[in-house]
């Protein structure tokens, strides 16, 4: 079982994707953006490997306007070496990669232009995976598309469009249930007819359930049967409902206990789990650390990253975790993350926030110029007077961390939220 995250990572310096407005998308600019994004991809690969994350969705933004303005550019030739080495790095480590065109790639549209653009977009996604040297178990996940007043016809139009696609694209395609139109029963029916694998998304299913009464495990089992050996192990998408936001919105992070309960009722077959969550790699690492028995060193590394983020919410929880990690013969992963979750659910009190900011500032007290000291001090004063938010203070600390290349802080979670 692999657990992974989608597209971008938090607290991984130099891993961001760049894009531009279409009106600025000339060849030179695109080629340089692509170069930048491939560097970022390699940093993501390095990070994933270092942290034992072996499931990863590559951002569709890797090649900006990859199916339109950049479609004719010879990026695969220009960056052949880079693509090959990054691909080797990821695949050689056993990483399973994937891509997921957005909701605007609609293969089953009655509009021939829309269908054509969708096919071009799928072609672009397949070319990315091809150029990395990925085999057909590295998938492209799509949705069925629109209904246009007749679901049955919409499904059959999907089938005929699917059959017209290039084999290089078709062999990678996987169908996923969506949160509005096509539920998991629709997807299973269509995927079976097409001979393509199906992915079950638990939150989409909760928001847009199929008529039949079947529990999650039942659907997951049915989906698993659509995966051939050449497709690799079945995959599912897992996410949790955001408490604050509307139905179907992904949560900020994965709560560990509901996740572990979800795992309990999974069928025995090997399944890969793509998490869809705002804090991306952070939750992926949490789930991986909790399901795999690792060395306590893995938890200490994690704790180092969470430290000030927890301290900001609660000194009590901060100390509890320090105590917890003292016994080096234990591996108290779930306990640690439970305390972290509880700490992060505490309201942010100005006193604690100031305390944590002061701790982080101590990395710079001996280095920072007078001007920077004054700037930070005045921000702290403004914050304590309620004249600015904590984000302004953190942004200032982020600036300093970058200026003085303070890796410990740049790799920690405190500055990113």
Partner DNA sequence: TGACGTCAAGATCCG
Partner DNA sequence: CGGATCTTGACGTCA
Interface residue list for DNA (CB under 7 A): 7-8, 16-24, 61, 68, 102-106, 109, 111, 114, 117, 145-148, 180-181, 246, 248-250, 276, 278, 388-389, 391-392, 395-396, 399
In the bound state with DNA, the residue whose beta carbon lies nearer, of 103 and 319, is 103
Query: What is the smallest separation between the CB atom of 322 and DNA, expressed in angstroms?
Result: 31
Nearest distance from C-beta of residue 31 to DNA, angstroms:
15
Distance CA 299, CA 92 (A): 26
Which three-class secondary structure string do you get for the chain? CCEEEECCCCCCCCCCCCCCCHHHCCHHHHHHHHHHHHHHHHHHHHHHHHCCCCEEECCHHHCCCCCCCCCCCCHHHHCHHHHHHHHHHHHHCCCEEEECCCCCCCCCCCCHHHHHHHHHHHHHHHHHHHHCCCCCCCCEEEECCCCCCCHHHHHHHHHHHHHHCCHHHHCCEEEECCCCCCCHHHHHHHHHHHCCCEEEEHHHHHHCCCCCCCCHHHHHHHHHCCCCHHHCCCEEEECCECCCCCCCCECCCCCHHHHHHHHHCCCCCCCEEEECCCCCHHHHHHHHHHHCCCCHHHHHHHHHHHHHHHHCCCHHHHHHHHHHCCCCCCCCHHHHHHHHHHHHCCCCCHHHHHHHHHHHHCCCCCCCCHHHHHHHHHHHHHHHCCCCCHHHHHHHHHHHHHHCCCHHHHCCCHHHC
CB 234, min distance to DNA, A:
22
In angstroms, give the least distance from the CB of 80 to DNA: 24
Q: Which is nearer to DNA, 318 or 361 (CB)?
A: 361
Residue whose CB is less far from DNA, 20 or 210: 20
Look-up of token digits 């999907």: 158
d(CA 163, CA 187): 16
Taking the complex as a whole, how short is the minimal distance between the CB of residue 401 and DNA, in angstroms?
13
Please, what is the minimum distance in Å from the beta carbon of residue 370 to DNA? Answer: 15
Rounded to a whole number of angstroms, the minimum distance from the CB of residue 338 to DNA is 26
Q: Between residues 29 and 322, which has the closer beta carbon with respect to DNA?
A: 29
Q: Are 287 and 256 in contact (CB under 8 A)?
A: yes
Our CB check for DNA shows the closer of 107 and 343 to be: 107
Nearer to DNA, 137 or 276 (CB): 276
Instruction: Tell me the C-alpha distance between 182 and 184, whole Å.
Output: 7
What minimum distance in Å lies between the beta carbon of 183 and DNA?
A: 14
Closest separation between CB of residue 52 and DNA, Å?
Answer: 22
Measured CA to CA, the distance from residue 249 to residue 206 in angstroms comes to 11
CB nearer to DNA: give 153 or 319.
153
* Closest to DNA by CB, 127 or 250: 250
CB of 17 to DNA, least distance (A): 5
Residue 105 or 271 having the CB closest to DNA: 105
Q: Which is nearer to DNA, 246 or 326 (CB)?
A: 246
């Amino acid at each position: 079982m692999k657990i992974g995250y989608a597209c971008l990572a938090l607290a991984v310096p130099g891993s961001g994707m760049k894009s531009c407005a279409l009106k600025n998308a000339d060849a030179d600019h695109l080629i340089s953006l692509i170069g930048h994004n491939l560097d970022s991809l390699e940093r993501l690969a390095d990070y994933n490997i270092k942290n034992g994350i072996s499931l990863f969705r590559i951002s569709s933004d890797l090649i900006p306007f990859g199916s339109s303005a950049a479609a004719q550019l010879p990026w695969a030739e220009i960056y052949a070496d880079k693509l090959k080495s990054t691909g080797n790095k990821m695949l050689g480590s056993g990483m399973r990669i994937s891509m997921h065109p957005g909701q605007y790639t609609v293969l089953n549209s009655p509009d021939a232009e829309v269908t054509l653009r969708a096919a071009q977009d799928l072609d672009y996604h397949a070319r990315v995976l091809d150029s990395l040297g990925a085999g057909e178990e590295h998938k492209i996940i799509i949705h069925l598309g629109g209904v246009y007043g007749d679901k049955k016809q919409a499904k059959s139009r999907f089938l005929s469009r699917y059959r017209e696609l290039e084999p290089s694209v078709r062999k990678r395609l996987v169908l996923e249930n969506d949160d509005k139109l096509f539920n998991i029963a629709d997807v299973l029916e269509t995927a079976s007819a097409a001979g393509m694998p199906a992915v079950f998304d638990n939150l989409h299913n909760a928001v847009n359930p199929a008529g039949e009464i079947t529990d999650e495990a039942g659907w997951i089992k049915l989906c698993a049967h659509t995966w051939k050996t050449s497709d690799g192990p079945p995959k599912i998408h897992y996410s949790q409902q955001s408490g604050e936001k509307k139905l179907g919105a992904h949560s900020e992070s994965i709560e560990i206990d509901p996740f572990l309960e979800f795992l309990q009722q999974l069928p025995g077959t090997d399944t890969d789990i793509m998490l869809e969550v705002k804090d991306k790699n952070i939750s992926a690492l949490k789930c991986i650390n909790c399901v795999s028995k690792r060395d306590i060193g893995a938890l200490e590394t994690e704790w180092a990253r969470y430290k000030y983020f927890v301290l900001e919410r609660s000194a009590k929880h901060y100390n509890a975790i320090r105590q917890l990690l003292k016994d080096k013969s234990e591996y108290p992963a779930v306990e640690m993350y439970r305390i972290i979750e509880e700490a992060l659910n505490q309201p942010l009190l100005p006193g604690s926030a100031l305390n944590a900011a002061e701790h982080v500032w101590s990395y710079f007290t001996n280095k920072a110029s007078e001007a920077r000291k004054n700037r930070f001090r005045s921000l702290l004063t403004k914050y304590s007077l309620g004249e600015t938010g904590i984000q302004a203070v953190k942004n200032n600390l982020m600036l300093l961390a970058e200026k003085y290349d303070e890796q410990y802080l740049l790799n920690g979670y405190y500055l990113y939220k």
